[in-house]
Structure 1
Amino acid sequence: MSSIKITCVIVDDEPMALNLVESYVEKTPFLELKQKCSSAIEALAFLKKEPVDLLFLDIQMPDLTGIEFSKMLPKETRVVFTTAFDQYALEGFKVEALDYLLKPFDYAEFLAAANKANTWFSLVKTNQQEIVSEEKEFLFVKSEYKQLRIKLADVLYFEGLKDYIKIWLKDQPKPILTLMSLKFLQEELPDSHFMRVHRSFIVSLKNVEEIERSQIIINNQRITVSEQYKAKFLEFVNKNSLLN
């Protein structure tokens, strides 16, 4: 098993449940507790300041339920639901929770869920570390049990899809699919050639064909530049514009 540390937050409106899960986290070497919160609203405020890998999240809470909250989380943050009500199990898995713990649960059950999370994060990290760059001209990515060499000059854009990335290349109608986070990929790509313009898209600046209002057109695909990334993208446009 990987020796990675998984940062986590516990969210539950019951103080006894919070303390119990905290004691379980402290017994588990690969978990690192960052915060415990008595509501989803409190957790949301904390995560804006300090994102974490994993949430142990109660479902039935006032103001904002765990299911509703889970839909607001970044793609990189995963969830293990904790609840006293088994009717939420199906809904929990619909939002792609890593596991579902039915209260009252003991440490053995908790550890099984934590190990499942550890396995998932280990697989993602292993796949990310298998990227090798050659002066940032190439990336090697794992796809369908193969290591594929991707020439960066051929990349049109990267599209994030839950836990996977689609790599769209010139002259290829179908994308390459690989298990990886967009956040990790962004850190590995040269800033001079690639820019994140949306929560789900990193584009090749050299392959931008048109800009229409808040949309980039690459290979007939329209990609919206979201507010979060607009200032940086406009800086790039102005720097390379002949209309200054």
Structure 2
Amino acid sequence: MAIRCFVLDDEPLATDLLRDYIGRLPDLELTGISNSPSQAFSILQYTPVDVVFLDIQMPRLTGFELLRPLAYRPKVIFTTAFREYALDSYEFDVLDFLVKPVSFERFCQAVGKIYRFLPTPAGLPEVPQAAVAVHEYQYFKVNKEMVKLFLKDILWIESLKDYVRIHTPSGPLVSYMRISYLEEKLPPDRFLRIHKSFIVALHHIQAISALYIRINNREIPIGRIYKARLDEVLQKDRPEAGLGSRL
């Protein structure tokens, strides 16, 4: 199912840019675009969407004032040239806060959060977590491209200072991103940092010892300060009969 998006900004150049960005991603559907807050409010009241890309400072009606009286609360990605609004924006169901000019890379990072936080549509049964995982992905900047990578395909992640090497079954990808930033963005029930330089995908673990975790026949070291947390996570997954001594 496509993610229904609406774009509101009083600057036509800003809406044109977001229109272009949304058009590059096949899972996003642009259902409406407007440079008028009052017009946008009328549309949004009767045409619910999943995500609104919303400017804050606009004539006659701010982004905050537009959201408050809506009969429903869409997810929001704020776009603005004014950084001082960041704190106030978190009164709402905010996925991200983009400061203009917005790059495509930064836009893709914000879009990657949509899949983690959008609720199951009303009237539909809850989707099993395993099924949800198949459709979860993020975009990573690799060379000059934004590469779509499904989270289920990530084996482990290795820090290279300001870069990360993301290991997948088809080979590694190197992306400009700190491992600490990526650690915050990945689902904590599926990914765990086990070393200052490594994050592992729990569902890809083949074997565990006191010193390393083996994934895809590669031994990944366990850092001393991360060992207690690792043991805590693994203990939850063990059956009551036990699997031997603890790490």
- TM-score (normalised: structure 2): 0.48
Structure ranking higher on relative contact order (CA contacts 8 Å, 6+ apart)? 1
- TM-score (normalised: structure 1): 0.48
